[in-house]
């Protein structure tokens, strides 16, 4: 959604954090399985002010599939807030040749809890019932319409991160257990 979209405010209990394949917190799941997303540079601040089990108030913009893009997150117990801001101008980013150097091979399988979407609303992955995030490119996701449904049993192989906040991988192959389709030109 664009910045002219109407703001929305909701309150919920954090069930778990959601991370990207690089291991950055870039969202959270409420106990009612509603998804809240925010930029990765906001994740450390969110994790510092609120933990799973805490009740938070989120002000943001509705996105596709019922997700909410957070602009501000406030812990209702202590009043601490994290606010979306542009990345610091002096933020160090790895050069393209080194991005992904810390990723490890991961496998995942489980039932789809939610389908995740890219900014334009097209499917770009799934969140499994165990909290694992499997990311796909939107063109890759289009190959699997029957599997990108809540309740579908899926499996993936790829590269990502497992840390104290969760597990996330960028799939290099995806499908059902025992029947993975390679998504890129060469096998892992």
Phi and psi angles of residue 178, each rounded to the nearest 5 degrees, phi first: 85, 0
Contacts (Cβ under 8 Å, ≥6 apart) of 144:
136, 174, 175, 181
Query: Encoding tokens for residue 61?
Result: 């913009």
- What are the tens digits of pLDDT across the range 134-164? 999 999 999 999 999 999 999 999 999 999 9
pTM for this structure?
0.88
- What are the tens digits of pLDDT across the range 91-130? 666 666 666 678 999 999 999 999 999 878 899 999 999 9
Rg (CA), the chain: 17
- Alpha carbons 78 and 53: distance in angstroms, whole number: 14
Q: Are 128 and 112 in contact (CB under 8 A)?
A: yes
pLDDT at 1: 41
Confidence label for 3 from pLDDT (cuts 50, 70 and 90): very low
- What are the tens digits of pLDDT across the range 56-70? 999 999 987 788 999
- Alpha carbons 8 and 102: distance in angstroms, whole number: 36
Name beta bridge partners: 83: 72
Distances in Å between the Cα of 1 and the Cα atoms of 58, 102, 124, 180 are 17, 32, 16, 33
Confidence label for 7 from pLDDT (cuts 50, 70 and 90): confident
* pLDDT (average), residues 64-82: 94
Say if residue 188's pLDDT is above 60. no
Phi and psi angles of residue 99, each rounded to the nearest 5 degrees, phi first: -65, 135
* Mean of per-residue pLDDT scores for the chain: 91
* pLDDT (average), residues 155-183: 97
- Alpha carbons 113 and 135: distance in angstroms, whole number: 14
Percent of the chain with pLDDT over 70: 89
Domains and CATH numbers, the chain: 8-83 (2.40.50.140), 104-182 (2.40.50.140)
Higher pLDDT, 22 or 5: 22
pLDDT at 65: 77
* pLDDT (average), residues 80-88: 89
- Alpha carbons 108 and 134: distance in angstroms, whole number: 8
């Amino acid at each position: 959604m664009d910045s002219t979209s109407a703001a929305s405010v909701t309150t919920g209990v954090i069930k778990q954090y959601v991370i990207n394949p690089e291991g950055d917190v870039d969202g959270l799941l409420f106990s009612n399985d509603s998804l809240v997303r925010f930029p990765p540079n906001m994740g450390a601040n969110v994790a510092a002010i609120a933990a799973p089990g805490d009740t938070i108030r989120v002000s943001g913009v509705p996105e596709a599939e019922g997700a909410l893009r957070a602009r501000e997150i406030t812990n209702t117990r202590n009043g601490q807030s994290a606010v979306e801001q542009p990345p610091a101008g002096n933020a160090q980013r790895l050069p393209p040749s080194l991005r992904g150097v810390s990723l490890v091979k991961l496998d995942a399988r489980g039932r789809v809890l939610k389908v995740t979407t890219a900014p334009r609303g097209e499917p770009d992955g799934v969140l499994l019932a165990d909290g694992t995030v499997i990311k796909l490119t939107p063109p890759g996701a289009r190959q699997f319409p029957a599997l990108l449904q809540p309740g579908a049993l899926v499996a993936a192989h790829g590269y990502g991160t497992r840390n104290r906040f969760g597990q996330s991988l960028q799939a290099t192959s995806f499908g059902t257990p025992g029947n993975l389709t390679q998504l890129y030109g060469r096998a892992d």
